[in-house]
């Protein structure tokens, strides 16, 4: 038995399947497969959308309700009147998707209590988790006076990682003991606190009947719409901050719709859940049946297996069976791809006799194109190492090198020729590969041990990413690049049609942080001139990079690369901090000015942005209204987008927004109307040409008039002549910015410019 196990373990294919199986089991048991499963399930939902049964009606406390009530929230008296109207119309039961805790005055509360007492067992109010509360525990419960007259239900929902899915409990623990969830109470299904279920997210949100809270209060609704129906009263106005993304569906909806979908799911009956183990076992059997040289799953059969795995849950959902496939997919990818890679090595006739690895000649025989970067790693002291040890040392040295290469590129087939090791990397980004090779260099610097002796290694790398040529034609380019790296004493040298530019961009980000720390990156300030007050009123902060060897680097270049590789936050923090510090210093000198800072559209999707800015303002003691964030209109926005909600958060914190480059992007009148910006900046391309181009002059006038009609301040960029200044003043423009006033200058020069301007005003 032991001998048989040893024989199996000696098989590379067996070891691959063994570790792939462990990977799949670990993914399933640990729950790490949940995000993957959620993504797959959400991809199926658009194909499964169906209408609600219409038995649950939403009464929405929407924006129109708050507008007509002229209030920030409905009152307890409003709730009492709502219940009376709904019950009079024949509603069955009423469920509140909110809690009644510590709100309302005593008279209004008394009115609501009397109303609740008139309909015992037919009105339910919510309990929910408090701030920072975790687990299935709703500790924020209604006040005792309301609990005595109405049922209490849990409104808790448990979000999956990355908010890709939500599960609901049948019941929750609370300070008053175990209470049913809204969905369980509404559907009449019992369950404990330890059991969760996933609602049917394929119920089309728009098909769930709804009426406005204010229409019910005003008796301006059709009673037939609620007669005999269960009602969920839900906050729906943006001010309630209870708008969420429905898994698998486009757009957003108030949280009460989650409860409605959960309740309808329970009424219809939950599907049979087979879990993840059956799919994993099925794929294991299929892969094992194909083991053996020349009989592994080929690409076509493997693709078919993946298609079946992905499609099976869709059809099983139709018959009320749920199955999870992420662990099986993980196993299939790990096992089959590794085995296929092993097949290619075994089939290759070219083998390096010294190391036992496929020789580089095998790569020279590959006439197909590949979209992978070809890496050539040259050991500089390889000849000396091999010549100083016994004949068997080459294989041991090669094994140790390959083992280290595969730490972060574990599917790589490594080819060997003398001191050169080559492979097609699975890392598609040159920047990621550069960082990977830096890590490999740090590992190898510690030396390797062969035959009980420590060996110091030193290597350089060449990259070839000319994907338009066959692999065979790229081998020489990669090897030549490795030799070039040795000559220039560089860790990595890239060979492609744009090799110098590519090499510079790869190294650009690695030196950016250092450049900020040592003062190469700095902030210039361009004054903004108030044409009504006839004085400088603010400045725009503009990042600059003066490289010690290359000189000034275009902001368009390094900001684009920083955004591409998600490093823009560091630059923005640096600029905002400097701008706020300078604004405080200007105030100390007696000049009350605003500071404008450009904010990347990418950063507007970062939930940490408001906190970062607030921290900087607090550190320096600057009022938020002195900082203007300039937003470029690169994307269309709607009121439900995350970006729009972020802009609202920023404005609510006291900051001011400016629409930069207005007129060149997606801006429309409606865009300008509802975006919470106080300032509009006319793009400089129109200001440049308005002196000679009548159409641009008309466009500038139109933007000024439109912005003023919406109480927005207008800033004109690119003002370079006195004529342009006069034309803008005649047309009512508020603020001018451009070379005619001042170029972007260092802060000390800004102080001098503002001081002279103040002296002129005083004179």
Q: Report the 3 state secondary structure along 292-341.
A: CCCCCCCHHHHHHHHHHHHHHHHHHHHCCEEECCHHHHHHHHHHHHHHHH
Can you tell me the distance from the alpha carbon of 24 to that of 326, in angstroms, rounded to the nearest whole number?
A: 8
Distance CA 198, CA 34 (A): 12
389: tokens are: 């040890």
Count Cβ neighbours within 10 Å for each residue of 447-459 and write b for 16 or more, e otherwise: ebebeeeebebeb
Range of the domain at 707: 508-762
The strand pair at 656-662 and 453-455 is best described as unpaired
Helix pair angle (430-445, 499-517), 10° resolution = 70
Q: Which residue ranges in the chain fall short of pLDDT 70?
A: 1-11, 103-105, 132, 290-302, 342-350, 390-392, 431, 451, 495-507, 509-510, 550, 564-565, 633-640, 665-671, 761-763
List the structure tokens of 527: 């004054």
The partner residues of 455 in beta bridges, in order of sequence, read 448
In a domain, 47, yes or no: no
**CB hemisphere CA count around 264 (13 angstroms):** 27
pLDDT, tens digit, for every residue of 132-156? 677 899 889 998 889 999 999 999 9
690 plus 630 within the same structural domain: yes
CATH code of the domain containing 372: 3.30.70.270
Looking at the fold, whether 119 and 174 belong to one and the same domain comes out as yes
Q: Are 623 and 583 in contact (CB under 8 A)?
A: no
In a domain, 630, yes or no: yes
DSSP β-bridge partners for residue 528: 538
Any domain includes 65: yes
> In whole angstroms, what is the distance from residue 304 CA to residue 283 CA?
12
Strand partners, 56: 230
| One domain, residues 455 and 561 | no
Do 321 and 234 fall within a single domain?
no
Helix (H, G, I), strand (E, B) or coil at 302: helix
Cβ neighbours around 600 below 10 Å, total: 19
How far apart, in whole angstroms, are the C-alpha atoms of residue 193 and residue 178?
A: 8
* 545 and 638 belong to one structural domain: yes
Q: Is residue 42 part of a domain?
A: no
Q: Are residues 631 and 533 in the same domain?
A: yes
| Residue 68 domain flag | yes
Give the C-alpha separation, 401 to 379, whole Å.
10
Cite the DSSP H helix spans in 49-129.
63-69, 76-88, 106-118
The pair of structure tokens assigned to 407 is: 């730490």
CB 234 within 8 A of CB 59: yes
Cα(463)–Cα(658) distance, integer angstroms: 44
Helices 299-318 and 326-347 meet at what angle, rounded to 10? Answer: 170
Of the three residues 445, 476, 497, the one that is the final residue of a domain is 497
711 shares its domain with 578: yes
* 544 and 656 housed in the same domain: yes
Q: Are residues 748 and 668 in the same domain?
A: yes
Nearest to 464 by CA among 456, 474, 472, 454: 474
Bridge-based pairing of strands 374-379 and 272-275 is: unpaired
- On whether the CB atoms of residues 511 and 497 are closer than 8 A, the answer is no
So what's the pLDDT on residue 62?
95
Q: Which residue has the tokens 């003991």?
A: 177
For 446-458, the pLDDT digits (tens) are 777 776 777 777 8
User: What is the CATH number for 523?
Assistant: 3.20.20.450
Six-digit token string for 11: 């098989």
**Strand ranges, E, within 425-514:** 448-450, 453-455, 459-464, 492-495
Residue 696 lies in a domain: yes
C-alpha–C-alpha distance, residues 253 and 245, integer Å = 6
Beta strand pairing call for 656-662 and 679-682: parallel
Whether residue 419 is contained in a domain is answered as yes
Please write down the HEC assignment for all residues of 503-527. HHHHHHHHHHHHHHHCCCEEEEEEE
- List the alpha helices (DSSP H) in 106-173: 106-118, 144-147
Q: Which of helix, strand or coil describes residue 710?
A: coil
459 and 604 share a domain?
Answer: no
Task: Count CB-CB contacts under 10 A for residue 394.
Answer: 22
8 A C-beta contact, residue 24 and residue 280: yes
Other residues' Cβ atoms within 10 Å of the Cβ of residue 391: 8
Contact 229, 57 (CB under 8 A): yes
Residues 564, 461 within the same domain: no
**Measured between alpha carbons, how far is residue 58 from residues 150, 252, 259 in Å?**
19, 15, 10
pTM attached to this predicted model? 0.46
Residues 295 and 381 in one domain: no
Backbone angles phi, psi at 610, to 5 degrees: -60, -40
Q: In terms of DSSP H, where are the helices of 137-237? A: 144-147, 182-187, 213-217
pLDDT, averaged across the chain: 85
Looking at residue 211, its pLDDT comes to: 97
Residues 6+ apart with CB under 8 A from 297: 286, 287, 290, 305, 336, 339, 340
Residue 647 resides in a domain: yes
For residue 633, what pLDDT is reported?
57
> 592 by DSSP, 3-state: which?
coil
Q: How many domains does the chain have?
A: 4
Cα separation, 701 vs 652, whole angstroms: 31
Residue 197, classed as helix, strand or coil, is strand
């Amino acid at each position: 038995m032991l001998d048989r196990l040893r024989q199996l373990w000696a098989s590379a294919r067996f070891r691959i399947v063994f570790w792939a199986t462990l990977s799949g089991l670990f993914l399933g048991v640990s729950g790490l497969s949940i995000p993957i499963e959620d993504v797959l399930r959400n991809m199926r939902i658009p194909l499964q959308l169906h209408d609600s049964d219409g038995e649950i009606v939403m009464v929405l406390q929407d924006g129109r309700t708050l507008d007509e009530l002229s209030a920030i929230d409905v009152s307890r008296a409003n709730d009492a009147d709502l219940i009376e109207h709904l019950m009079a119309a024949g509603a069955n039961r009423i469920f509140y998707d909110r809690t009644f805790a510590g709100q309302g005055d005593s008279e209004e509360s008394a009115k609501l209590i009397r109303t609740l007492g008139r309909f015992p067992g037919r009105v339910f109010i919510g309990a929910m988790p408090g701030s920072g509360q975790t687990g299935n525990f709703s500790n924020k419960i209604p006040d005792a006076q309301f609990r005595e007259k109405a049922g209490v239900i849990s409104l808790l929902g448990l979000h999956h990682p990355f908010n890709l899915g939500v599960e609901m409990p049948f019941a929750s623990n609370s300070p008053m003991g175990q209470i049913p969830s809204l969905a369980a109470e509404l559907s009449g299904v019992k369950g404990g606190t330890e059991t969760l279920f996933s609602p049917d997210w394929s119920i089309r949100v728009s098909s769930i009947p709804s009426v406005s809270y204010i229409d019910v209060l005003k008796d301006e609704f059709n009673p037939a719409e609620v007669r005999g129906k269960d009602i969920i009263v839900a906050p729906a106005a943006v001010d309630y901050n209870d708008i969420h993304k429905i898994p698998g569906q486009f757009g957003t909806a108030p949280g009460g719709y989650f409860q409605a979908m959960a309740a309808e799911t329970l009424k219809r009956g939950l599907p049979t859940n087979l879990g993840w183990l059956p799919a994993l076992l099925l794929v294991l059997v299929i892969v094992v049946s194909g083991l053996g040289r020349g009989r592994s799953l080929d690409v076509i059969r493997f693709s078919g297996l993946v298609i079946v795995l992905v499609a099976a849950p869709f059809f099983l959902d139709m018959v009320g069976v749920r199955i999870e496939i992420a662990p099986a997919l993980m196993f299939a990818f790990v096992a089959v791809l590794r085995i296929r890679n092993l097949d290619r090595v075994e089939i290759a006739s070219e083998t390096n006799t010294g190391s036992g690895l496929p020789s580089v000649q095998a790569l020279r025989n590959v006439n197909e194109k590949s979209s992978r970067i070809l890496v050539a790693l040259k050991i500089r002291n390889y000849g000396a190492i091999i010549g100083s040890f016994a004949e068997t040392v080459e294989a041991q040295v090669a094994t140790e090198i390959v083992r280290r290469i595969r730490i972060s590129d574990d599917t790589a087939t490594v080819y060997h020729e003398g001191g050169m090791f080559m492979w097609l990397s699975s890392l598609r980004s040159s920047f990621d590969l550069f960082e990977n090779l830096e890590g490999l260099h740090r590992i190898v610097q510690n030396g390797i041990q062969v035959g009980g002796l420590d060996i110091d290694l030193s290597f350089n790398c060449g990259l070839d990413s000319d994907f338009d040529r066959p692999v065979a034609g790229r081998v020489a380019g990669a090897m030549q690049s490795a030799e070039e790296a040795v000559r220039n004493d560089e860790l990595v040298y890239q060979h492609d049609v744009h090799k110098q530019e590519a090499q510079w961009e790869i190294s650009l980000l690695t030196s950016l942080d250092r450049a900020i720390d040592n003062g190469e990156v700095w902030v210039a300030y361009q004054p903004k001139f108030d044409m009504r007050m006839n004085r400088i009123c603010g400045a725009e902060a503009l990042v600059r990079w003066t490289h010690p060897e290359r000189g000034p680097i275009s902001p368009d270049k390094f900001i684009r690369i920083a955004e591409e590789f998600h490093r823009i936050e560091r630059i923005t923090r640096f600029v905002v901090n400097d701008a706020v510090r300078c604004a405080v210093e200007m105030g100390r000198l007696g000049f009350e000015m605003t500071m404008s800072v450009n904010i990347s559209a990418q950063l507007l999707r970062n939930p940490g942005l408001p906190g970062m800015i607030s921290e900087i303002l607090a550190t320096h003691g600057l009022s938020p209204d002195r900082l203007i964030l300039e937003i470029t209109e690169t994307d269309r926005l709607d009121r439900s987008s995350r970006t729009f909600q972020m802009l609202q958060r920023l404005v609510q914190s006291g900051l001011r927004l400016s629409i930069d480059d207005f007129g060149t992007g997606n801006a429309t009148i409606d865009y300008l109307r509802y975006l919470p910006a106080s300032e509009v900046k006319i793009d400089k391309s129109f200001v440049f040409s308005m002196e000679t181009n009548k159409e641009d002059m008309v466009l500038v006038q139109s933007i000024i008039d439109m912005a003023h009609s919406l109480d927005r301040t207008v800033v004109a960029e690119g003002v370079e002549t006195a004529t342009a200044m006069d034309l803008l003043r005649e047309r009512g423009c508020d603020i001018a910015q451009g070379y005619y006033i001042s170029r972007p200058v260092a802060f000390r020069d800004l102080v001098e410019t503002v001081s002279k301007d103040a002296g002129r005003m005083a004179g």
